[in-house]
Structure 1
């Protein structure tokens, strides 16, 4: 069928596949380096405890069949190896069926991780990676031209990502309608980056322009993805520029980079006169069947997106095949941070020698400038930001985290930037502070990017129960 493939999409497919492989590699590396403390047999939310109460049909995963820390580590590092192979272009060197099988491996492995990841894997970009990775299985390699149907589904996914995020903003927080959200966002976002202070200090008219441009990019431009070329390329290019702006202004794991990868599949590149080889009938049948299934499953995400009670980042099936997306339906006006401290003193006096634990990404020490970590995902740091919003976000894991600090657990301590003790502390406490950026004068005078004010106690001084 001449209509089945697009000769103009060869390079777009190649760039999309390599970008997706790079994101997969970062995702598996994040899992391999952090899982033992977060999800391991002695983790803050152990996988064996989860699989004991949640059946396979609700959370299909290889770890429902067997779990050990060694097995999880093997799966995560195998995901890294396959992702690196795909990034190097191994899928182009094997037959079509083998390339499809190769792309299926990281999808199965990452689905297995996400479905037992609990709170640590409750972010929208997990489902976005799975939905994108599933589509990549059917995009083919050099044995066939890029299938038009799969290219359409990639655009359909990109539209839902952007349009869903735009709608949730308009419906969620009045500041988006007033164009004032960016007066606060750069300061209160989950994990600021090295340039976030400067973005926050931009003139207010620029913040209004940022918000207005966001509405145009998310509510109007996505529909131009389905326009004829070169309009679709222009729309995708504008999305890429917007995502690069977001990359510069904060740390959002791989959300922005994965969105850029999707946009690359839309851009029309010179084909160099390359023509698509004949497409096997079995491949056409498989692709069309999968496309029909995904379009059928799209009805619930579409209903959610159009509903006045729209919810963000919801999966409607345990395989995360078609999902709803969104971000920052509400924007905080004030930044709260949970500061965790320990002491070696025999009694936990307020005036005692309390020392602060430093996290890798979240604000803590006032003079420590934020780092760039994205696309790498610091899961504990992100959840500490949620804990600052409400203690309910920390209810499932925070007490276990404090217990590991009191034990001096080396696996947990590796998640932190600095541990202030050479031996386990006798007591650990947590206090809630309000953080704000310094202004230009304060920055010049002190060299510090933050100021903070004590709000209240988050966790009273706590020690291990020695009698257990």
Structure 2
């Protein structure tokens, strides 16, 4: 069984496991702190209503058996504590079989959350975390050497993440092919970060170099992951550096951090280790058989993702099985040239006027609103409502299922909903009416920033949601 393990990757395994535990921790915290207003019993898209119409076979989850907000909170907070324990290294203190169960638990808990999360959990990084988390179950601990097959499968995930993203760009928006997409991307991305304004104002020739470098990293470098060392390590390190550049330029939840985590598993860290790798016990037969079986399973499930990669009609961020074991990924196949933002306002007037004097604006934590506020860094934490508000600005269809319930909760000052916001302009009593308007946002120039102190300039486009009160039907978006 000498072929089965690669002792030199013991440090890579350790680094990967601790980084993955940190991502799990952030994911469970995001779920615990936001679920009541989003998918709770009185949320905008309640879980009980969802499981009543979607069978177990399509969305396996412990919440298919029973749901309550208390049980969800126990699951999310329990998952956070479990992840913290893995981050501290508890899996290294138990037998091999117990360590595998320790890694299986957060995967099963988070799968239960994602499969009932509906629109709020429809992002590619959810499936990516589940796919990577499933493979982590079979990496083992110090009672067995790092299994070569699982290390290979982790590189296979990293390959599909990067190569899929590269292909969908080349097949998608023309600006990726003429190297001009970054003229717009930093301004129109879902949730800009504190440095995004500065990235946007980099010289245009540098933007073209960035796009070309991105194409090289996503379309060429992934193949080097399967070459001998040290080339594979250099390829993984280049991918990690590219992801860190993206982390600086915007808020993309834990997508970039999880990609970095995958890259860390492909790097040979042995030159940095103090001495030779530890002597591992002989690999148990049951463990080897299980890893081989999982490898065969993943190989079989890879058929649809590979077919999707080769298709001219490539789709991104899609799962082909309800357990989300092998998925397809991709990002920003098209780039918006104009940023539109939904601005939500309320008023206490019994007969509201249409001008802006009596209307007060709600503030969000992450998405652009106040033109003088510099965007903040939230990633890897995921602000789910803010992200969906960006999609709503692209098209009202993205908000059709949840925006009406959102407005209704603002009209009663629902505390769970208000905790998702950055500022409530009606702290003493709820507004009589709530409306939403669509604005075009653009970054200010250096001169405008100096003269006005504003990072954004905005102009009104049209009404998005008409003035609504509790006794007014609110079942449409204009």
Q: Normalized against structure 1, the TM-score is what?
A: 0.99
Rounded Cα–Cα distance in structure 2 between residues aligned with 1:348 and 1:394: 24
Tell me, which stretches of 5 or more residues in structure 1 are unaligned? none
After superposition, what is the alpha-carbon deviation per residue over 1:231-277, rounded to whole angstroms, capped at 9, x for unaligned? 00000000010000000000000000000000000000125312332
Shift of 1:419: 0.3
Rounded Cα–Cα distance in structure 2 between residues aligned with 1:30 and 1:309: 33
Paired residue for 2:284, among 280, 284, 296?
280
After superposition, what is the alpha-carbon deviation per residue over 1:192-233, rounded to whole angstroms, capped at 9, x for unaligned? 000000000000000001100000000000000000000000
Rounded Cα–Cα distance in structure 2 between residues aligned with 1:466 and 1:375: 39
Q: Normalized against structure 2, the TM-score is what?
A: 0.97
After superposition, what is the alpha-carbon deviation per residue over 1:320-378, rounded to whole angstroms, capped at 9, x for unaligned? 00000000000000000000000000112113510000000000000000000000000
Rounded Cα–Cα distance in structure 1 between residues aligned with 2:3 and 2:451: 65
Which stretch of structure 1 is more off in the superposition, 404-413 or 267-276? Answer: 267-276
Shift of 1:446: 1.0
Q: Which residue of 2 aligns with 1:377?
A: 382
Q: Which residue of 2 aligns with 1:105?
A: 105
Partner of 1:435, secondary structure, is strand
Q: Which residue of 1 aligns with 2:42?
A: 42
Rounded Cα–Cα distance in structure 1 between residues aligned with 2:104 and 2:373: 42
Q: Which residue of 2 aligns with 1:413?
A: 418
The reply to whether residue 464 of structure 1 matches residue 470 of structure 2 is yes
The size of the alignment, in residue pairs, is 468
Partner of 2:374, secondary structure, is coil
Q: Would the aligned equivalents of 1:161 and 1:325 in 2 still touch at CA under 8 Å? A: yes
Partner of 1:407, secondary structure, is coil
Query: 1:111-126, aligned counterparts within 5 Å?
Result: 111-126=111-126
Q: Which residue of 2 aligns with 1:331?
A: 335
Rounded Cα–Cα distance in structure 1 between residues aligned with 2:280 and 2:454: 58
Q: Which residue of 1 aligns with 2:441?
A: 435
Partner of 1:12, secondary structure, is helix
Structure 1's consecutive aligned runs of 4 or more residues displaced over 4 angstroms after TM superposition are none
Rounded Cα–Cα distance in structure 2 between residues aligned with 1:276 and 1:326: 38
Shift of 1:466: 8.1
Query: 1:43-442, aligned counterparts within 5 Å?
Result: 43-270=43-270, 271=273, 272-274=275-277, 275-351=279-355, 352-421=357-426, 422-442=428-448
Q: Which residue of 1 aligns with 2:476?
A: none
Rounded Cα–Cα distance in structure 1 between residues aligned with 2:465 and 2:32: 30
Tell me, which stretches of 5 or more residues in structure 2 are unaligned? 474-478
After superposition, what is the alpha-carbon deviation per residue over 1:418-448, rounded to whole angstroms, capped at 9, x for unaligned? 0001210000000000000000000111111
Rounded Cα–Cα distance in structure 1 between residues aligned with 2:198 and 2:472: 49
Rounded Cα–Cα distance in structure 1 between residues aligned with 2:237 and 2:322: 33
Rounded Cα–Cα distance in structure 1 between residues aligned with 2:55 and 2:471: 34
Partner of 1:267, secondary structure, is coil
Rounded Cα–Cα distance in structure 1 between residues aligned with 2:459 and 2:73: 41
Rounded Cα–Cα distance in structure 2 between residues aligned with 1:460 and 1:269: 58
Q: Would the aligned equivalents of 1:312 and 1:327 in 2 still touch at CA under 8 Å? A: yes
Q: Residues 447, 466 of structure 1: CA spacing in aligned structure 2 closer, same or farther, 3 A cutoff?
A: closer
Rounded Cα–Cα distance in structure 1 between residues aligned with 2:258 and 2:472: 48
